[in-house]
Amino acid sequence: MVAQLGWFATADSFWTVRSVSVFGTSILILALLAMAFWRYRSISAIAADLSRTLSERDAARDLSRREEERFRTVVETAYEGIAMIDVSNCISFANRRLRDMVGTDDDLVGRSLWDFVDEDYRAKIRDGLSRRKEGKADTYEVMFRRPDGTGVWILLSVAPLRSEDGAYAGLVATLTDISARVRAESSLGDSERRYRALVEHGSDLISTLGADGRMEYQSPAVSRALGFSPDQLAGRTSFEFMHPDDQAEAGEAWEKMLAHPGQPVRIPFLRIRHADGSWRTLSVTITNMLSDPAVAAVLSNAEDVTLESELERQLVQSQKQEAVGRLAGGIAHDFNNLLTVMRAQTDLLLMEMGPLHPWSTDVVVIQTAADRAATLTSQLLSFSREQVLRPRLVSLGETVRDISGLLERVIGEDVRIRLECDDMLPPVLVDPPQLEQVLLNLAVNARDALPQGGTLTLSTSEHTVGEASSDQFGDIPPGRYVVIEVADTGVGMDKQTMARIFDPFFTTKERGKGTGLGLAMAYGFMRQTGGAIHVTSEAGDGTSFSLWFPASEGEPEPRPQPVSRPFRVAGATRTVLVVEDNDSVRRVIIKTLERAGLVVVSVIEATAALEVIAERDDIDLMLTDLGLPGMSGHELVARVRVTHPRLPILIASGYANESAGSDDLPADIPFIQKPFSVEGLVEAVHNALGDSPLEGVE
């Protein structure tokens, strides 16, 4: 046994084969266990790491999914339309808002965004494709067309997409519905254009000024009214163009306006100088809007009232002349009766005394004074438009030529008269003697305006005044007119003188050399005729008077030729009924007619005249005044013509208002103007009686 154990151990030794095997096996088992434990620990760590990794991945996936859902929600619920467009320009993604914008519920993927763009804008977008591929972002305002044909304005913003290697991968498009803004801008633009049109094409003169009064903006009406360009007005104050007499009132209004922001301050009449040097009258309203950010200026709104101001001046002038005319007419009426007595009585005295009587010269002086007074009275009546007119159809060209010889003698040799008369003009209805007096007055005034000589031109022409152009001719209504123009090359008149030339008793002549009634008489005559008189003049550049007569139809009447008749009526006795309320005039008429061999029956009122005519059949002529107590002379004439149509009638008067309520006197009834001479009265009676036998003067 011992021998069998060998060198391992003795029989009593621990290190036996068994023990060594057990020990080794134990060590191996322990090692294996240790290795298994270490492996387990490693696997557990790996498993834990793997589990942790998987958990983190799942969490990341959940987070990514939640983020994706959140971003999708944001994209889908965004106010703007969002689209992804691939390299072939097809939509790869479109949110709900985009579908709403283009008006469809269909999926837009695979469709081209440009299909929805209005045709007028497609080319513009296509032109920008190259810029987008180069990496540039673009923004467009375009019109999208919905399937139902309606349009929607879109603000389209596109930006390029790039792949990881930087290659062009498509576009991202953001679309915003700006229809409301475009409509608002369009409405605002329409409103702006409307108000700009009102400002730029309106007649009101609209300006903005700084606090110092310097002009900033001027509407075109300012240039049209005042003749200055905007550049000429910019930076200048209105006071530089203002009439000196208006500057104080304007300065007060300016200070008041500055002290009361927002409150309009009106200046009713403000004279502003035109570019041509003349003055325009404006009605101006200024408002302080310096504190308003939208304006930040003084707003001036003006209206050109030059024409209205002139018409108002003419109205005041007319009313003034009317008032003076009524006074003058009333005085002239009574004065005419006095002059009739004076003129006729001096004629009768001279007949009685003969030319060799020592007092005859004194009587002639009285007669001459009466004639001068009669001329003055006639001018007063013409001015007051109460002169009795006997109009007839005349040719103005013939009238001008006929009076030119008289004018040559009146104005002297140093003034050349030039005639430009048209014989083919229509006739006019006018009282020729009164017209000749007007032309004579104008010629005398022209002579005084030509102290060194010059030219006086009398011309005739025809004009038609239409509705559109009547305003520029002032008080001339539309119609056809024949015009006489009396123009001189004299010293002319300034504006102040022109404003008063038609005033009664206004004259620029030296004391004692003018009554101041010549032009007033011309004015009254033209108004009474139905026409008008206009004057244009510049200091140092002559004067032109235009007489406007309404054109008439028919042929001009021949000028009546004077017939010389003896003073006394011979043959069968003629009886004249005299109707005159003025005792002195009635007596002188009776004396004159009885001296002429006539039988005279006189009454003072119309009713008595009607009774005489009804009771007597020997009345050969009725001579009546127009201004009678009770029934007027005009009514008397009308009633007599009904009851005794063959009875001759002669009217003697000097005051148109005596026939108030009537038109012009009947053309077939003869008329004699007061004051008259004895010869004139007898001549008128001869003519009224017709073919009575005549004999030599007593």
| Residue 363 structure tokens | 């009587």
Q: What is the DSSP letter of 665?
A: P
Over residues 164-171, the mean pLDDT reads 80
- Residue 560 or 522, more confident: 522
User: Does the pLDDT of residue 101 top 90, yes or no?
Assistant: no
CA atoms lying within 13 Å on the CB side of residue 47: 6
Residue 328 pLDDT: 59
Residue 608 pLDDT: 92
User: Does the pLDDT of residue 617 top 60, yes or no?
Assistant: yes
Residue 603 pLDDT: 92
- Residue 392 or 278, more confident: 278
User: Does the pLDDT of residue 661 top 50, yes or no?
Assistant: no
**DSSP-based three-state secondary structure for 639:** helix
Over residues 624-641, the mean pLDDT reads 87
Best-predicted range by mean pLDDT among 156-165, 419-428, 551-560? Answer: 419-428
User: Does the pLDDT of residue 610 top 90, yes or no?
Assistant: yes
User: Does the pLDDT of residue 531 top 80, yes or no?
Assistant: yes
Over residues 79-106, the mean pLDDT reads 82
Over residues 641-669, the mean pLDDT reads 70
User: Does the pLDDT of residue 205 top 90, yes or no?
Assistant: no
The fraction of the chain above a pLDDT of 70, given in percent, is 75
Residue 7 pLDDT: 44
Residue 389 pLDDT: 56
Among 126-135, 286-295, 561-570, 644-653, the minimum mean pLDDT is found in 561-570
User: Does the pLDDT of residue 641 top 50, yes or no?
Assistant: yes
Give residue 437's identity as a one-letter amino acid code: Q
Among 7-16, 214-223, 303-312, 366-375, the minimum mean pLDDT is found in 7-16
Give the Cα separation of 214 and 225 in Å (integer): 19
The fraction of the chain above a pLDDT of 90, given in percent, is 5
Residue 611 pLDDT: 92
Residue 622 pLDDT: 94
- Residue 92 or 128, more confident: 92
Give the Cα separation of 382 and 325 in Å (integer): 9
Residue 601 pLDDT: 92
Residue 147 pLDDT: 81
Q: Which of 140, 104, 101 is nearest to 122 (CA)?
A: 140
Over residues 686-691, the mean pLDDT reads 76
> Is residue 401 classed exposed, middle or buried when 0-12, 13-18 and 19+ CB atoms within 10 A define those classes?
middle
Give the Cα separation of 405 and 181 in Å (integer): 84
Residue 609 pLDDT: 92
Q: 226 φ, ψ to 5°?
A: -110, -10
- Residue 324 or 345, more confident: 345
- The mean pLDDT of the chain is 76
Residue 578 pLDDT: 92
Give the Cα separation of 387 and 435 in Å (integer): 12
- Residue 21 or 335, more confident: 21
- Give helix 583-595 / helix 678-689 axis angle, nearest 10°: 70
> Which residues are within 8 A (CB) of 179 and not within 5 positions of it... i.e. 6 or more apart?
152, 153
Give the Å distances, CA to CA, from 195 to 190, 198, 215, 295, 620: 8, 5, 20, 14, 80
Among 51-55, 72-76, 155-159, the minimum mean pLDDT is found in 72-76
The predicted-structure confidence for 32-42, as pLDDT tens digits, reads as follows: 777 877 877 77
For 161-183, give one letter per residue: b (16+ CB within 10 A) or e: eeeeeeeeebbebbbbbbeeebe
- Where are any strands of DSSP class E within 497-595? 532-537, 543-550, 575-579
User: Does the pLDDT of residue 659 top 70, yes or no?
Assistant: no
Over residues 468-489, the mean pLDDT reads 74
| Residue 137 structure tokens | 């972002």
> Which residues are within 8 A (CB) of 62 and not within 5 positions of it... i.e. 6 or more apart?
none
> Which residues are within 8 A (CB) of 653 and not within 5 positions of it... i.e. 6 or more apart?
388, 625, 626, 627, 633, 659, 671, 673, 674
pLDDT band, very low/low/confident/very high, at 696 (cuts 50, 70, 90): very low
pLDDT band, very low/low/confident/very high, at 5 (cuts 50, 70, 90): very low
pLDDT band, very low/low/confident/very high, at 166 (cuts 50, 70, 90): confident
Give the Å distances, CA to CA, from 389 to 73, 435, 659, 676: 103, 11, 12, 15
CA atoms lying within 13 Å on the CB side of residue 650: 25
Q: 383 φ, ψ to 5°?
A: -60, -45
Among 21-35, 186-200, 204-218, the minimum mean pLDDT is found in 186-200
